[in-house]
Structures are given as C-alpha cells and as structure tokens.
Amino acid sequence: MIKLDNITVGYGKRPVLKGVTAQIHEGVLTALMGPNGCGKTTLLRTMGGLLQPAEGCVFLDNTPIGQIGARALARQIAYVRQHAQTDFDFSAFETVLMGRNPYQHRLQNESQADWDIVEHCMRQTSTWHLRFAKPDQMSGGELQRVMIARALAQDTPLLLMDEPVSNLDIAHQLEIMHLLRTLGKTVVIVLHDLNLALRFCDDLLLLHEGVLLFHGNVSDGLTPERIQTVYGVSTHREGGHIIFDY
C-alpha cells in the first residue's frame, strides 16, 4: 500500500531520518515506536505526503505521493496529529464535519450522507454526546477523540496516527485500540506503550536515531535486547507481557 524507498528526510541540513526503506501492507495495523526525537513524527508526516523527503521516494499504491493532489490524497490518507488545538470556537460536530471536505465541492452543501457519517464516527469514538461542545469545554482526551473521529470521517483506507491515545485514560485507550482493530483499515500508529503495541498491533516499525532498526512482526520485534538498545531500559517477557525490571 505504502512503500518507502530509501528515504532521507531532514529539517534544514540536519537529517532526521536516514535511508529508511519499508513497505506497509494493506489491512495491517503497524505500531511506529522509538524514543523521543528518533524521527517517528517525521516518518509519519513523510508517509502522509506532508513532508518531502530530501532523498528517496514515498509511493502510495505505486504512485509517487508527491504527484497526488491534496484532495485525492485526503481521500486515501487521514492524519491525526499529536497535538490538537484551535484558537477559534468550532463545536465538536463542526470539527468532525471538516473531515468530509475532500468529498465536497466548494459551493456544495453537506449532504445527508455527510451528516450520517459524522454521527456514525462520533458514536464510534464515544464523542456524540460532546457534539455541541467547544474546544475549551472539552478535556484533552475528549478533544483527542474528536480528532480521531474527524480522521475517521475522512473515510480513507489508510490512517496515520501520531500518539492518538497518549491523552486518553486506560478505558478509552483500549476502546480506541479495539476500534482500530475492527475497522479493517491500514493503520500506522505511534505508540509509547509497549504492551499496548504487543496486544493490538500486527507489525512494528522500530526507529532508533533516525534509522529503521526493525520492521516485522511486533512480538518478534520487541525483544528485551532491542528494548535495551533503543530505550536503555531492562525488561523481560512474562506470559506474553513485557515487564520492566525497575
């Protein structure tokens, strides 16, 4: 579905990602992991066509992503940012409705189908009761779920999510992860919780200092040795869980 062909990406002259090659297959839920500053967000933005790589190329279904127009791309890829905030007062409903933009012509009004999709996505993310709420009336976690609903409303086969569950309580984290499992979409999700990745994800992209250290089955990837290398933390496996040796 998405192919990264030896991409190097940087801001200014400093390369953040160095020679990353990987292929994300359809319907696979991939965890993107690594310590702070290792290039997770940069990789995700590059996959979403929001950043141009300095070298190499990103392909979406064999088409270079730079050749796809913004509208067409927005029907293929939805992107959930790490921090969601607006300074102006859109209600949660209006915010989610924005996700329908790639399907609407400028002078066209939202159709009944659009309203129904928005309602469906808000119910899926348990945000329907917040539909009239403004950003300052929502908690960080509620706002985050609204942003996930907006991405779902884009109705794309591919979802790129940058720490979408970091602001959520445990119950909502599990709820969103369960939801992602049942959607049948291709998902690349930045996670920090090793056990959440182990429990819900199929594959793992493990980044370390801008280099792709591992790409493959998540259970094979999260070995105590690799966790030690990447995070500098000592762990062991116990009954399918990763336990930290404090």
Partner 1 sequence: MTSHKNLTHANPWIVASLLVLLLLAMAASCLLGAVDFHARDILQSPIFWQLRLPRVIMSVLVGAVLSVCGAAYQSIFRNPLTDPYVLGVSSGASLGAAVAILLGLEAWLWGVGGMALAAALVTVLFIYRIASIGNRMHTTTLLLTGVCLTLLISAVISFLMVLNQEKMDAIIFWTMGSFGSCAWSDVAAMVPVALVGIGVVLYFGRDLNLLLAGSEAAQSMGVEVEKVKRTLLAVTTLMVAFAVSSCGVIGFVGLIVPHAVRLVVGADNRRVVPYSALCGALFVLVCDTLARTLLRPSELPVGSLTSIIGAPLFIYLLYKNKKSI
> Residue numbers of the site for partner 1 (CB under 8 A)?
45, 48, 50, 69-71, 73-75, 77-79, 81, 86-91, 93-95, 97-99, 101-102, 104, 106-107, 109-110, 112, 115-116, 119, 136, 150, 154
Write down the least CB distance from residue 240 to partner 1, Å: 35
Write down the least CB distance from residue 158 to partner 1, Å: 11
Our CB check for partner 1 shows the closer of 3 and 150 to be 150
Q: Quote the CA–CA distance of 82 and 157 in Å, as a whole number.
A: 20
Our CB check for partner 1 shows the closer of 70 and 171 to be 70
Write down the least CB distance from residue 138 to partner 1, Å: 14
Write down the least CB distance from residue 233 to partner 1, Å: 32
Our CB check for partner 1 shows the closer of 43 and 218 to be 43
For 236: left if phi > 0, alpha if psi spans -120 to 50, otherwise beta; the answer is beta
Residue 195 and residue 164 in contact, taking contact as beta carbons nearer than 8 Å? no
Our CB check for partner 1 shows the closer of 99 and 221 to be 99
Our CB check for partner 1 shows the closer of 79 and 214 to be 79
Our CB check for partner 1 shows the closer of 30 and 95 to be 95
Handedness of CA 240, 192, 48, 64 (dihedral sign): negative
Write down the least CB distance from residue 199 to partner 1, Å: 28
Write down the least CB distance from residue 150 to partner 1, Å: 8
